[in-house]
Every structure is written in C-alpha cells, then in structure tokens.
Amino acid sequence: MEWIKRKPVKRIKNTDSVLEKLAKIRGIEDLDKFLNPSKNSLHNPYKLKNIEEVTNKIIKAVYQGKRICVSADCDSDGIFSTAMMVRFLKQFTDNIYYIYNQRSIGHGIENQIQYINDETDLLIILDSSTNSTDACKAISKNGIDIVIIDHHAFERKNPYATIVNPQLDHYPNKSISGAGLTFKVMQVIDDNLGSETFENYIDMCGMGMYADMMDCSVLENRYMISKGLKNINNPGVQVILNLKNIDVISIDSQTIAYIISPLINGCARMDKIELALELLISDDYLRCVEIVEEMIELNEERKQIQKILFEKCLPQIKEEDKFIVAAIKDISKGFNGLVAQQLTDQFNKPSIVLKGGEILTGSFRACGELKNMKEFLKKTGVVNKAEGHEFAGGVEISKDKLNSLKTFVNEKLEKYKFTPVFEYDLEISVDDISFGMIKEVEKFNHISGTGFPAATFKVDRIVTGERKVLGKNKDTIKVVCNEIELMKFKTDKTYAEDVMDLDELEVVGQLKINEFIPTWGKGKKLVRNKQIIIEDYKAV
C-alpha cells in the first residue's frame, strides 16, 4: 500500500491547533459552520420542482379520507423514508398502509404492483421508480394517482406520476437521498397543516441519508445527519442503541455505519425487510426488543453467508486481470453488492458479481482511477444495462457476452492504476497523542464518510508490545504499545503476525478513544484507552 500525505489547501502554521491544521488541509473556510451546521444550511424545499403539487395531492387525500399506499424501496434509505412518511401521515389518517418487496426481487414499483389494494386512491412511491414508466402507466389505468419522491438518475420520461426528484430540476443539493427528500415533502405538508411535527423525524432522515452514502461535505446533508444524531426519537432505533450498550450522547456517523445501518440493511439482504419496517414504525417497546434481537441474529447469519460467497469468488480471480468478474449461481441479489465491495476492498480492483442463467444480473463497485464505472460499463456496448450510482450499482449482461466484457475492460483498463493508496492528513509522533488531542480530532470526524473522509494520521516511534487476536470470529487484532492500542477490525487472524515485542513501527490510521466500564473486577470504574484504528503498518 502506498501512503500519500494530503496537500494542504492553505499554508499550515506550527502554532495552529490540530483542528486548524485539519481545516487548512481540507480547505474548510469556516470551521465552526462546517462542524456545527445550523438550520440555515437547509435549502428552501419549494425549490424542488413539483413539491407543491405532490404535497397538495397528499393533503387532499388525507382530508378526503382517501386510501393511501406508501411503497418502500428495499434498502436502508427506502426503509427509513417509508417509516418517516407512514408515522407522519398516521397523525392525520388511519386510511394508510405500506407495501414492499424483498431485495432479492429487485428495486422499483414494478415489483410491487400485485400488493396494491383495489381501494387505493393515492400511491406514494419513495426512493425509487423515477424511470418506472410502464409500471406507473399500468397502475394509473386503475384510477390510482401516483406521486414519486426519489433521488436517482432520470433516464426516461414518466408522465404517469408527479415526481419530486432533484435530478429533474435546479435544486442546489444533488446529493440528497430519498429520506432527505421525504423530510422536505413532510416539511411542506407541515407548512400547510400546521402540525409542527415534521422535525420529530429528523433522526430517521439523517440515518437514511448517511446509510445511502450521501456526500458528507455538503452542508445541508451535514445538518440533517448531525441534527438527527442529536435527536434520536424513534423507539426502534433507541432499542438498537440500548441493546448494543451505546450511550446516545456519544454517537456519531460511525454509529450509523457500523451499528444501525448493518442491522437495517441485514434485514433487506436476508429478505426480511418487514422486520426493519415494523421496528421503525412500531411504538411497542417489548416488540421492538424482540425484533432487534432477531435482527442481530439475522445479521450474524448474513456475515456467514457473505463469507461463503466471497470464498466462492476467489477461484475465478486471475492476478493479471485489471477487473474482477465473478459469477455465483446461488447468490441472492441482496449479496451481490456486499461481495463485490469486499472483493474491491481486498484486491483493490473494480468488481462485478453476477447471478443467473442466460441473462446475468448483479452489482458493480468502482475504485481507484475508475470513478464513473456506470458510464464505463455502458460504453462497453456489451452490457444490457448499468444503473445506480457512478461508483456502485446494478448491471445486466447476456451470458454469451461475458468473455467479451472481460476482454474489453482488461484492454481499456490496461493503463489505469489500482495500486492501493492511503491518504493521511498529518504526520505525528506517538508521544504527541493525548486524550485532549483525540477529543479534538473526534469533533472533526463527527460527521465523516462519503465526500469527507475521517481525519487520518501517520504515526511514528511506536514500540510494540503484546499482540492479541480477539472477537468471536477471531477477526480483530490488538497490539498494546506505548500507552496506546493498535486496532485492526474485520481482518484475518494472521494479520501482523510478523510484529514482535519491542519492534518499532510506523502506522497510518484514525485516532480514537475507547471508553467502557468493565463487567469484571471490583469498582467497575470507567476505563479509557487511546487507540489507533490502523489501515497499514511498516517496520522501521
């Protein structure tokens, strides 16, 4: 792995604090505004095309007692969006229900038509179906009015639905997810109905935004995520945090990434989306506890299945290929993307994981210099379709064209570099790391992810101590040294086996404070440890 130091956008002074240095490296002009975005960061929802028409249709249906159906997309963003809308509208009407299909079936309202009641008057489709023209045409023939609240790319006209989608207008934030847009629509409904309750759902809005990997450098997104983390109102999410022994005061964006989203997404990938929806819509505490316990078990099962599927891909990988294409006969759609991402992370190559017979469908993941993999695949001329985001999405190809695809991409990518690269912000000595310093860094990293990676450091003068293999799956490594712990998660038990006592290392990674109250011994006082979550290490 190549380590590269980020070039500061502004000149750094020796007298600058660690926060000031990080801000100058990233080019942040107003650090307080960026780290603590205010409500002024939100754009006017009325800038969204059709938002008044959509909200008027919803309000009219509510007042006239019409039958309302809410359609959930089968990922975290769609699940959070649906829970928000259903909970919000249930304040005004009981004549509402929601529908869904399992992730293995696919995205889009075309997969849910059979679940729409004949008595339905208004269909609200969330986080999908901008381009589902044929399905909307068929539904509208039954006299059902259709509104769509979506953020995915516009590819074909759909005159059978009234659509709110920032890709269709000049709304300033193109990196807003379905949950963010649902929040916007609820805000406009609230303007008309005066309930003043739409902000009660900001927690699910922020989680849906983050789980769908929206740009964390955009101030509107940062406000929604930050405000959501500070206002955890949803009973189901509260139960997740309680059962995971997480203090709501200490949560940040990584809590969504590693605790909440995996459980929600795990349900979708295991074709149990109904569990996640029930959890987020229910107010029954005991039922929520039952659901979360089942979700935790389900996610552990998901991990084992993913491990097996990943291993099935390995014999299909050739070292000389610039691009991984693997086909697994018995893989579910819920796992294509997971396994593709795991392959990309491990081998640092773009990946496609496919399933099927004569027509293969699956997921792609980009990396390195190949940023817009969706357009790249379209230009090959051999795939039937490539959809989704630029770096992650779905693909379909005829089996007889698979070899042509492999040949084409290997030729086209011959000059591309996919060498693993890790960018770090600052170079420090292990002796420079204090609890106070890490606290400042954690403020900077509070909302970090896509578009705004967490601050990272190259740390030298580390003298190693005992190495331990931890975790039920033996996939966590801890090396205790210099009053700091080196931690590596989700790795092989052989990681860092070459590290011996009293070796001197340089490492790159994130700085963290691990706080916990031990369940053993007397007194049970709070324990605080400084940690480096390492990405890579080198012996000096």
| Alpha carbons 212 and 76: distance in angstroms, whole number | 7
In which residue ranges of the chain is CATH 3.10.310.30 found? 323-413
Sign of CA dihedral 368, 373, 376, 380: positive
Q: Given this model, what pLDDT does residue 420 score?
A: 79
Q: pTM for this structure? A: 0.90
Placement of tokens 């505004």 in the chain: 33
H/E/C letters for each residue in 388-414?
Answer: ECCCEEEEEEEHHHHHHHHHHHHHHCC
469: three-class secondary structure by DSSP: strand
pLDDT of amino acid 252: 95
Check residue 432 and give its pLDDT: 94
Both structure tokens of 28: 């942040």
Answer for the pair 328, 311: CB distance below 8 angstroms, yes or no: no
Query: In terms of residues, how long is the chain?
Result: 540
157-178: burial string, b at 16+ Cβ within 10 Å, e else:
ebebbbbbbbebeebebebbbb
Which residues, other chains included, contact 117 with Cβ-Cβ below 8 Å and sequence gap of 6+?
67, 69, 97
Instruction: Report whether CATH 3.30.1050.10 matches the domain 40-293.
Output: no
State the number of CA atoms in the 13 A half-sphere of 27 facing the CB: 5
Between CA 227 and CA 222 the distance in angstroms is 8
The token pair at 507 is 């490492």
Count the neighbouring beta carbons within 10 Å of the beta carbon of residue 151: 26
Maximum pairwise Cα distance, the chain: 75
470-478, long-range: CB < 8 A, 24+ apart = 473/303
Tokens standing for residue 103: 């992730």
Handedness of CA 25, 27, 33, 36 (dihedral sign): negative
The low-confidence residues of the chain, meaning pLDDT below 70, are 519-524
| DSSP 3-state percent helix, strand, coil across the chain (nearest 5) | 40, 20, 35
Whose tokens are 């699940």? That residue is 79
Following CA atoms 442, 445, 447, 451 in sequence, which dihedral angle do they give, to the nearest 10 degrees?
180
Question: Long-range contacts made by residues 18-26, C-beta under 8 angstroms, separation at least 24?
Answer: 18/426, 18/437, 18/440, 18/441, 19/440, 19/441, 19/443, 19/444, 21/425, 21/426, 22/425, 22/426, 22/441, 22/444, 22/455, 25/425, 25/426, 26/425, 26/452
Write out the residue limits of the CATH 3.90.1640.30 domain(s) in the chain.
40-293
C-alpha–C-alpha distance, residues 490 and 303, integer Å: 11
**In the structure encoding, which two tokens stand for residue 53, read together?**
């028409």
Q: At a CB cut-off of 8 Å and minimum separation 6, what does 248 contact?
A: 232, 238, 241
Write down the pLDDT at residue 94: 96
Q: What is the CATH number of domain 2-36+421-539?
A: 2.40.50.140
Query: For residues 353 and 22, what is the distance between their CA atoms, to the nearest angstrom?
Result: 38
| Burial category of 319 from C-beta neighbours within 10 Å (exposed 0-12, middle 13-18, buried 19 and up) | exposed
Q: At what angle do helices 261-269 and 333-347 cross, to 10 degrees?
A: 120
Model pLDDT, residue 96: 98
**Cα–Cα distance, 317 to 325 (Å, whole number):** 8
Q: Output the CATH code of domain 323-413.
A: 3.10.310.30
Q: State the angle between helix axes of 261-269 and 273-281 in degrees (0 to 180), rounded to the nearest 10.
A: 140
Distance CA 275, CA 267 (A): 7
Q: What is the structure's pLDDT at 522?
A: 63
The residues near 328 (Cβ < 8 Å, ≥ 6 apart) are 309, 312, 313, 339, 353, 354, 355
CA dihedral (288, 228, 220, 20) positive or negative: negative
Residues 6+ apart with CB under 8 A from 119: 67
